[in-house]
């Protein structure tokens, strides 16, 4: 039986977060002292991936709030890294990194979070890395590949995975596929016929242990963004990530719900392309990314930062929510299922999660949820909305 732990943590003080994380681990059956010793072995390469989607609030957001309802707080990353270093016993390597949104300023992220101090904290090699080979230095240039600046990217290179017929995009006409850039030739070529390519950063793909540390947050394109949606940050070639199909349903697209909204977007400065439940493309990409990760055997752990969470207009413009919560588990999918339900949402109405439920990868009734040390009965069947997250009007159908 898979277990997921939920623990109340009221502040981002490092000692509070460490004890909250330790309590999660003990609830999951890990030892109180050196809790990761069974998961992580001396000599392992451990990759810790936070959500670093943005370095500041976008000017287009209708409000400004705590940046930590958008990205993972550094105290959660540090608490995880502390336990990892303890388990490594001076042998191995810790890598911390992400492929943030292409317009995120990594130097600004480092200054804001102060996370580079961890490179000097432990008795094992520890590096913090921007995995992006291309960045957008001016948001006005977003989507224009020839205006991107080149960066070193992952120092260990890339790993190309071809899902072929196992891809959720296989069999779809790629003519309308849209990735990050206006130039769509590479996107179409990566997802035509049995060519279904995703290029992962090698540092995380080849790691012995992958630890995901996402933010507890809603998302206007898929409903919620946690571990599985966060796998977008594992991909080096962002133009392989199909976010929508250009147009509206009457012409074979799912960028907008109808011709009127599609036409109206042409004169709008701020658009919300693909940001509606009828987007039938992006959830397929999320499923693909998880399938691609599962092609290689590794150990996993997840710690979801919901001490300050994000509700409403995620991923870039959510409203902060003092949810005072850490959620932890040793399986990305099951931890997402529990987190979504704890947000007050229905995981069976989140398309990328429902795919795995319908396929039989997981049975909700087989998941054991432990909150603050006590088992929760009928967690998924309860009428309780738990945290009762706010979602934008278009996504009301995913609420319990």
pLDDT in tens, 217-265: 999 999 999 999 999 999 999 999 999 999 999 999 999 999 999 999 9
209-213/125-130 β-pairing? unpaired
* pLDDT (0 to 100) of residue 267: 87
The token pair that represents 114 in the structure block: 């102060």
Is residue 224 packed enough to be buried (19+ CB in 10 Å), middle (13-18) or exposed (0-12)?
buried
How does DSSP classify residue 345? B
Phi, psi of 217 (to 5 degrees): -155, 145
Other CB atoms within a 10 A radius of the CB of residue 258 amount to 12
Summary mean pLDDT of the chain = 96
Q: Please tell me the distance from the alpha carbon of residue 211 to that of residue 83, in angstroms, as a whole number.
A: 12
* Helices and strands in the chain: count of H runs, count of E runs: 9, 19
**Domains (range + CATH), the chain:** 3-154+200-235+281-398 (3.40.50)
- Of 20-34, 155-169, 258-272, 370-384, the poorest mean pLDDT is in 258-272
Residue 69 has pLDDT above 90, yes or no: yes
Spatial CB neighbours of 152, under 8 Å, sequence gap ≥ 6: 133
Contact 140, 219 (CB under 8 A): no
Give the pLDDT confidence of 387-398 residue by residue, as tens digits.
999 999 999 999
Buried b / exposed e across 137-150, counting CB within 10 Å, b at 16+?
eeeeeebeeeebee
Residue 21 has pLDDT above 90, yes or no: yes
The token pair that represents 196 in the structure block: 């279904």
β strands within 163-204, DSSP E: 177-178, 191-192, 195-201
pLDDT band at 50 (very low <50, low <70, confident <90, very high): very high
Buried b / exposed e across 168-178, counting CB within 10 Å, b at 16+?
bbbebebebbb
């Amino acid at each position: 039986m898979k277990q997921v732990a939920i623990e109340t943590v009221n502040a981002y003080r490092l000692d509070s977060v460490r004890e909250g994380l330790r309590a999660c681990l003990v609830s999951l059956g890990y030892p109180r002292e050196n809790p990761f010793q069974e998961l992580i072995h001396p000599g392992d390469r451990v990759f810790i991936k936070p959500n670093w989607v943005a370095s500041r609030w976008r000017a287009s957001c209708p409000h400004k709030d705590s940046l930590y309802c958008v990205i993972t707080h550094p105290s959660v990353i540090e608490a995880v890294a502390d336990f990892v270093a303890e388990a490594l016993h001076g042998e191995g390597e810790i890598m911390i990194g992400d492929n943030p949104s292409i317009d995120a300023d990594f130097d600004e992220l480092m200054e804001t979070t102060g996370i580079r101090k961890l490179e000097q904290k432990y008795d094992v090699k520890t590096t913090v890395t921007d995995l992006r080979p291309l960045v957008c230095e001016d948001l006005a240039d977003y989507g224009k590949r020839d205006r991107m600046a080149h960066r070193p990217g992952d120092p260990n290179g890339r790993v190309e995975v071809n899902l072929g017929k196992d891809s959720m995009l296989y069999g779809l006409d790629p003519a309308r596929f849209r990735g990050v850039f206006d130039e769509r030739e590479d996107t179409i070529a990566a997802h035509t016929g049995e060519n279904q390519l995703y290029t992962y950063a090698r540092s995380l793909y080849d790691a012995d242990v992958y630890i995901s540390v996402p933010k507890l947050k809603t998302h206007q394109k898929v409903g919620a963004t946690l571990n599985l949606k966060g796998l977008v940050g594992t991909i080096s070639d962002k133009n392989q990530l199909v976010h929508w199909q250009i147009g509206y349903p009457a012409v074979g697209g799912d960028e907008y719900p109808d011709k009127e909204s599609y036409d109206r977007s042409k004169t709008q400065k701020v658009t919300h392309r693909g940001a509606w439940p009828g987007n039938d493309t992006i959830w397929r990409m999320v499923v693909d990314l998880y399938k691609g990760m599962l092609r290689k055997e590794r150990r996993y752990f997840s710690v979801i930062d919901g001490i300050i969470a994000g509700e409403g207009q995620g991923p870039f413009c959510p409203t902060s929510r003092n949810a005072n919560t850490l959620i932890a588990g040793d399986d990305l999918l099951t931890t997402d299922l529990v987190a979504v339900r704890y947000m007050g949402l229905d995981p069976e109405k989140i398309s990328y999660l429902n795919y795995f439920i319908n396929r039989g990868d997981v049975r909700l009734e087989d998941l054991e949820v432990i909150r603050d040390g006590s088992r929760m009965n009928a967690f998924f069947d309860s009428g309780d909305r738990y945290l009762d997250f706010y979602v934008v009007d278009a996504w009301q159908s995913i609420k319990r």
